[in-house]
A and B are shown apart, each in its own frame.
Chain A
Amino acid sequence: MKNSKRLSTKSKTPLLIIGAAVFVIVAAVMNICLGASGMSLAKLWSALMAGPGSSANQRILWYVRFPRTLACLLAGAGLAVSGAIIQKVLANDLASPGIIGVNAGAGLAVTICCAFGVFSAWAVAGSSFAGAMIATALVVAAGRKSKASKTTVVLGGVAVTACLNALTETVLTIVPDAALSSRDFRIGGFSSVNRDRLIPAAILIIAGIIFVCTLSNELDVLSLGDDTAHSLGLNVSLVRNGLLALAALLAGASVSFAGVLGFVGLIVPHMARRIAGTESGTLLPFCALSGAGFVAVCDLIARMIFAPYELPTGIILSILGGPFFIWLLHKRRGKKS
């Protein structure tokens, strides 16, 4: 080999990541500055430098806007990466944590946990992960056992979601005190984000995203198909199940403080693939950043659109996500014909 170029793939990764990071910063600053009580950049800076304190701006920044914005960023990143993993592992672009029942499983588990009077942050995060994991295992196992088509797996997920949501409502009817923040949790939102609950979820989401980014090669090899992946020396079932567990962890941790926030894991990976391509090394960090920024923007819209009234962020996401899902179905049908 006379002149190895040392770069066998043309990499736009740094540029895309910088672009997405700028989007996150702009969305986060807007989310902090705009609202019922506006805050200029100068005031934001001085409140930031002063640290937590008793002035109005300091209180708004440190006790309201900052935790809320952080929650938006974490939930957006966690759900978007979870969706990207699920879509790639199941080779199904209609799958996402909201659609195949992962979020609903997490929601039910959190509700049951609270119905038993366990409100500790780690217990809520743990039960949320367990619920997400059980729902994932249920849908994937049923799909594999019946050798269902990609669309059937999604339909199975929709059925599982409906059952799990019905069970959640049943628990809430019997034990009304289990409703953590009532409407916000079931639709998904950030109006009652609690810093204590955010900390364990933040640790899980950040660690989970970093770890899954180190598995980008495994994820790409897996998407070449089981036979090819196996012949390249990959332990297919171990990696597939491990990645699905990570997806459930990310979705579960997000649901534990943001509620059952739908469609982030569907919309963001699709848009991210269109911009960043399908290679996981770029796609996963790009998804994390763009998901974070996207949810922050949706939350801002939810707070501003009927100000001073506030909508749960999940409503904005459902309004965007419903038509998006129909568009995806239409696109798939177009491809088939």
Chain B
Amino acid sequence: MIEISDLCVSYDGEEVLHGVGMSFPTGKISVLIGPNGCGKSTTIRSIVRLTEDARGTIKIDGTDIDGLSAQELARKAAYLPQSHSISGISVARLVMHGRFPYLSYPRRYRREDYEKVDQALEWMGITDLRHRRMDDLSGGQRQKAYLAMALAQDTDIILMDEPTTFLDIRNQIELLERSRMLADSGKTIVMILHDLDAVLRYADHVVLMDSGKAQAEGSAEEVLKDPALASAFGIVPRFFEAEDGLHCYVTK
């Protein structure tokens, strides 16, 4: 469980989050939605202390993150940024970096580290890619490798900043299905998405943000039907029932 209360964040003296409060339940997929620049990424980054000028309280399972060392925090929450630097390292080496928070100098890998890496590769279905260079992979394969790194990090929480952005439709669905499996296995997944129909199908818990504040919070259907959504995006959401449940599309 992640609880955020009264979070204010400034960049270069300008406040971009104004007393944000929200919570992300354990074992669920929580999704942050909102227009560009509303503070979604800043909120997620604050959970792993990537914002310098931040005030307020963020608790993970009741523990204030300010009381945790960098390594302790890295053992609780994994973070996948929106874009990654593409290096020529192998997939296996990248995934092994997920074990970094568990190693002390001079960072010798132990048997259990290799086992976690093998498990993560297997779980993501990319064992056959282990020796491939990251810069030889497609966008979807790369995203899976980074998610495997987050799995090897063995945290209860995985934070993903727009993980579907550079993926084709099939890879988007695959990533969301994997996220569902992770949440069902007990992990707390927090991600930023822009596809409202995907939000409706995959999110257990949704927070709508606008202008540096949380405007609505609840189940996907509740938040998507909240009038705040239309005013935040300047669009009209439309809903229809299909065989697999409720769907959403938008009009101006």
> Is there an interface contact between A227 and B100, defined as CB atoms closer than 8 Å?
no
A230-B50, A232-B153, A273-B88 given as contacts; is B100 within 8 A of A221 (CB)? yes
Contacts of B71 in A (CB 8 A): 233
Q: Is A91 positioned at the interface, with any CB of B under 8 Å from its CB?
A: yes
Task: Check if A200 is an interface residue, CB within 8 A of chain B.
Answer: no
Q: Mark B103-123, 1 if CB is under 8 A from A, else 0.
A: 101110001001101110110
Given known contacts A225-B85, A232-B100, A218 and B92 CB-to-CB distance under 8 angstroms: no
Number of A-B contacts (CB under 8 A): 104
Query: Are A234 and B50 in contact, with the CB atoms below 8 A?
Result: no
CA separation between A215 and B122, bound complex, in Å? 29
Alpha-carbon gap, A91 to B80, bound state (A): 20
List residues of chain B with CB within 8 A of the CB of A273: 88
A54 at the A/B interface (Cβ < 8 Å)? no
A217 at the interface (CB under 8 A from B): yes
A46 neighbours in B (Cβ, 8 Å): none
B208 at the interface (CB under 8 A from A): no
Determine whether A279 belongs to the interface, using a CB cutoff of 8 Å to chain B. yes
Cβ of A230 and Cβ of B70 under 8 Å apart? Answer: yes
Identify which of B50, B114, B118 contacts A231 (C-beta below 8 A): B50
In contact, A8 and B74 (Cβ under 8 angstroms): no
Q: Which residue of A lies closest to B152 (CB)?
A: A8
**Which residues of A lie under 8 Å from residue B97 when comparing CB positions?**
217, 220-221, 224, 232
Give the residue name and chain of the A residue nearest to B130 (CB): A8
CB neighbours of A1 from chain B (8 A): 115, 118-119, 122
Partner of A227, one of B69, B79, B118: B79
Contact A6 B70, CB 8 Å, known A234-B100, A279-B89: no
Say yes or no: A235-B70 contact (C-beta < 8 A), given A228-B81, A278-B87.
yes
| Interface residue SS majority, chain A | loop
Could you tell me the distance between the alpha carbons of A214 and B105 in the complex, rounded to whole angstroms? 8
- Residues of chain B within 8 A of A91, CB atoms compared: 85
- The yes or no answer to B90 lying at the interface (CB within 8 A) is yes
Cβ-defined contact, A9 with B96, below 8 A: yes
B18 on interface, CB distance cutoff 8 Å: no
Q: Beyond A217-B100, A220-B97, A232-B100, is A8–B114 a contact (Cβ under 8 Å)?
A: yes
B107 contacts A233, C-beta separation under 8 Å: no
| Shortest distance between the CB of B95 and any CB in chain A (Å) | 7
In the complex, what residues of B have CB within 8 A of residue A5's CB? 114, 118
Q: Closest 3 A-B residue pairs measured CB to CB?
A: A233-B74, A231-B79, A233-B101
Can you identify 12 A-B contacts, CB atoms within 8 angstroms? A8-B117, A224-B85, A225-B85, A227-B50, A227-B81, A230-B48, A231-B48, A231-B79, A233-B71, A233-B75, A277-B89, A279-B90
Where the two chains meet, the residues of B that have a C-beta atom closer than 8 Å to any C-beta of A are 45, 48-50, 69-71, 73-75, 77-81, 84-85, 87-90, 92-98, 100-101, 103, 105-107, 111, 114-115, 117-119, 121-122, 130-131, 133, 153
- Please give 10 more A-B residue pairs, beta carbons under 8 A apart, in addition to A9-B93, A233-B74: A220-B93, A224-B84, A225-B81, A228-B84, A232-B97, A232-B100, A233-B70, A233-B101, A277-B90, A279-B90
